[in-house]
């Protein structure tokens, strides 16, 4: 019988966006690891994942069954074996190396020009606009230093004027014009864009679990523009869409029931 692995998106699934791990999920996850391994697959980089998820990365009832998959799983850390161990790095890939120097430089120019256009709009500008995560780029027009209030202001602006949807189409068009035809652009979280080579979406993480039965839970799964879409489709019929940590609690209960029935 194959091992079960339940992969979770982070922001909007295990946490509110850019917030610490939702404590209401602690007990359900402890129950889940009795029947399956779990994993966190997120577009965020490792330092941000560690900041938000520290409470379960260090929880001895969870950490030995917890796979860590930042940057869509293009980085992978397997569970530790002993209390004194940290999670163990296994793989990390380079987007800059994959694209080559010329395409990389042109891509950065396109993002910088888009940021200059965004700077003329009535949105917060806080700094740290482009985050190079090694295997992907995250571009946040208001800056990743934004406070919760500044993020809310941008989210309202984005809903009203469909700013990110428009820019998403512009970015894709500019990349095509620049003959950079092997790069994917997705909406990341509530305020940013995730940019990475084709195929380096969250389905990348599935290669580590080829001999397992994989489940997935995420919040941006219904639209191809969302960064959970591909892995949600790849894991069907063991995929769940959530609206936040409270719904994730109920989803975990249902997954446990389904796994127990499958193993009867």
Rg (CA), the chain: 19
Among 11, 45, 201, 228, the active-site one is 11
Scored b (16 or more CB within 10 A) or e, 142-155 reads bbbebeeebbebbb
Answer yes or no: 9 catalytic.
Answer: yes
CA distances from 255 to 12, 32, 112 (A): 18, 8, 43
- Rounded to 10°, the helix 148-161/163-177 angle is 80
Answer yes or no: 194 catalytic.
Answer: no
Q: What CA–CA distance (Å, rounded) separates 212 from 206?
A: 9
3-state secondary structure of 64: helix
Residue in 211, 200, 244 with CA at minimum distance from that of residue 8 = 244
Residue with tokens 């161990």: 85
Both tokens of residue 59?
């929880």
Active site residues: 9, 11
């Amino acid at each position: 019988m194959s091992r079960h692995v339940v992969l979770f998106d982070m922001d909007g699934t295990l946490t509110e966006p850019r917030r610490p791990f939702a404590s209401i999920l602690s007990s359900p996850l402890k129950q889940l690891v009795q029947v399956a391994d779990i994993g966190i697959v997120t577009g965020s980089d490792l330092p941000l994942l560690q900041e938000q998820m520290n409470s379960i990365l260090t929880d001895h009832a969870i950490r030995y069954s917890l796979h860590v998959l930042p940057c869509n799983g293009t980085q992978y850390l397997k569970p530790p074996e002993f209390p004194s161990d940290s999670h163990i790095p296994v793989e990390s890939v380079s987007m800059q190396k994959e694209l080559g120097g010329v395409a990389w430089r042109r891509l950065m120019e396109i993002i910088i020009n888009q940021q200059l256009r965004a700077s003329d709009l009535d949105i917060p500008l806080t700094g740290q606009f482009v985050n190079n995560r090694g295997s992907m780029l995250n571009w946040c027009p208001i800056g990743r230093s934004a406070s919760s209030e500044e993020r809310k202001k941008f989210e309202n602006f984005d809903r009203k004027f469909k700013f990110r949807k428009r820019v998403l189409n512009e970015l894709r068009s500019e990349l095509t014009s620049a003959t950079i035809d092997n790069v994917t652009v997705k909406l990341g979280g509530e305020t940013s864009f995730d940019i990475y080579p084709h195929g380096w979406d969250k389905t990348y993480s599935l290669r580590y679990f080829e001999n397992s039965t994989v489940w997935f839970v995420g919040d941006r799964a219904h639209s191809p523009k969302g960064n959970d879409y591909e892995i949600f489709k790849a894991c069907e019929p063991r995929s769940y869409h959530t609206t936040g940590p409270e719904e994730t609690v109920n989803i975990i209960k249902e997954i446990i029931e389904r796994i127990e029935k499958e193993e009867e």
